[in-house]
Amino acid sequence: MQIHALDKAQLITDIQLGGNLNHAVYQGRRSDFALMLALLSGDATETTPLNPPYPEKITEAQLRKAFDLPEPTRLVAEERDYELCGSQADAFHKAGLASAKLNDCVSPSALHFPAIGTHNLGEDVYHNLSGHQRRQLDSENGKTAALDPVNLYNQLVTAKRFNEMHIQA
């Protein structure tokens, strides 16, 4: 009867023995120590964790697919968003607010529509500039694109000389 009880209550780790294993070593009871070691399971799969310690990282695309989520809303408008907003405004004027909301849910537009042609300035700032300052912005953007790659070395040397003259003066 006791043999079957010992067979069912097999020890997996030494933590289950508590302090008894340590006391047997400290007090020199070799027979108790040997018995407790024999009762421990010799199967390595019982003491070794089979799950990886670090789970695989799940990407946002995998989560979107698993939960059947749509693509995220674009933050900055593209060329197609202007046409899309035009069609939404048309739907509002023809069929009302419910149609415009439905149209926006089916094909959402971007959240921000930056001003075009303001040289990365706010629209209110750009319109407060004088005409001369606006022309100056246009000419500065043209200069950066019109670099001559053939004479680039000569242009750099000339710019360096002018810089040296201004530093000494």
Determine which helix (DSSP H) or strand (DSSP E) holds 104, and give its type and residue range: helix 97-106
Cβ-based neighbours of 69, under 8 Å, separated by 6 or more: 63
What is the reported pTM?
A: 0.39
Poorest-pLDDT segment among 19-33, 38-52, 66-80: 38-52
In the chain, where are the structural domains located? 1-45, 70-106
Q: What is the CA radius of gyration of the chain?
A: 38
pLDDT band for position 20 (cuts 50, 70, 90): confident
Tokens 């040397």: give the residue. 157
Residue 1 pLDDT grade (very low, low, confident, very high; cuts 50, 70, 90): very low
Give residue for tokens 């400290």. 26
How high is the pLDDT of residue 10?
A: 62
The residue length of the chain stands at 169
